[in-house]
Amino acid sequence: MTETAAADILADVHRGVGRILLNRPKALNALTTDMVVAIDRVLAGWEHTPLSAVVLASTSTKAFCAGGDIRTIREHSLAGDAESSERFFASEYRLNARIAGYPVPVVSLIDGVCMGGGLGLSIHGAFRVVTERAVLAMPETGIGFFPDVGASYFLPRLPGAIGMYLGLTGHRLDAADALYTGLATHFVPADGLDAVGDALADSPGDPVDLVLNRLAGPSPVAGSRLAEARGDVDRAFGAPSLGEIEKRLRHLDSPWAAAASAALESASPQSLEITHALLARGRQRTLRECLDTELALARTTIRTPDFLEGVRAALVDKDRTPRWQRPSLGGGPLPS
């Protein structure tokens, strides 16, 4: 394979199928600016190549992609280097938009952790394959940030109030939940994942959906715990305000509601307000409008005390005890 971005990205074309492998396993494929730019360049270069599909995958069984390299973004912020941070987010969102409009089907093979920027790589493509090891989440409110990479577009388009629930709480989805919500489109057992590229190459004229269905194992979707809680999810997170969401959770008085309340209590109040406002507006916006709004918000949010403190607690000192600037909701910045 052709090596780029110091071998963090591996790319080639094999029998009419473009293949991009994330190859930064020690960092769970956390995306750097160089990696994002490398993927974007590869895809741009293939736009006029006669391909039947593009496959995005990982060399690691632990992670597809754990998100953006947020520790580095924090370091830029502390150093006053806003330009480097903006270059990362602008490059990442440009890549998200390219994948969404790509001329051939993009097939993401999600084995292991897929969070934040990992969802940005996968969700904008038409096909998202999960294995039994998949774990998906948008955990940004827990680090003083907000769900980005187009999440203000794709989360509001999930059924009912599921997107608001996932965006505010950072709840982790297994394969069954991912299939139930539609974040994943197909299930293939981990030991069958390597066959996907060859299967696509063997049947270039067949719909990708049919090719993936031939490889699929028995779907775990019937075991979705999120499906069981769906009524409560819609009742609580369909509320018109954060305060009303918290009130409805208290009234539900169930283990699920208690866990959701605890997640909200541990998150950054500033992040919850930004996220609620973003997702409430997202369904009426285009992907481009959502990405533009997210970029403007990212510029300001990464300079806030909550972001610096949230990343410190989660990824630097790892004490998991962030001291948010405000102990409760009320009075934070809101996106227009």
Residues annotated catalytic, as ranges? 68, 117, 140, 148
Q: Edge to edge, what strands does the sheet with 53-58 contain?
A: 2-4, 9-14, 17-22, 53-58, 106-110, 127-130, 186-187
Q: How many residues does the chain have?
A: 336
User: Kind of pairing, strands 17-22 and 9-14?
Assistant: antiparallel
Distance of CA 105 to the CA centre of its chain: 19
Angle subtended at Cα 101 by Cα 95 and Cα 104, rounded to the nearest 5 degrees? 105
**Longest distance between any two alpha carbons in the chain, whole Å:** 57
Distance, CA of 308 to CA of 42 (rounded, Å): 33
- DSSP conformation class of 52: S
Distance, CA of 251 to CA of 245 (rounded, Å): 10
Give every CB contact of residue 231 below 8 A, 6+ residues apart in sequence: none
Residue in this structure with the two tokens 């998150």, named with its chain if needed? 267
First to last CA, the chain: 45
262 sits in which H/E element: helix 255-266
- The 10 Å CB-count burial string (b at 16+, else e) for 261-285 is bebbeebbbbbbbbbbbbbebbeeb
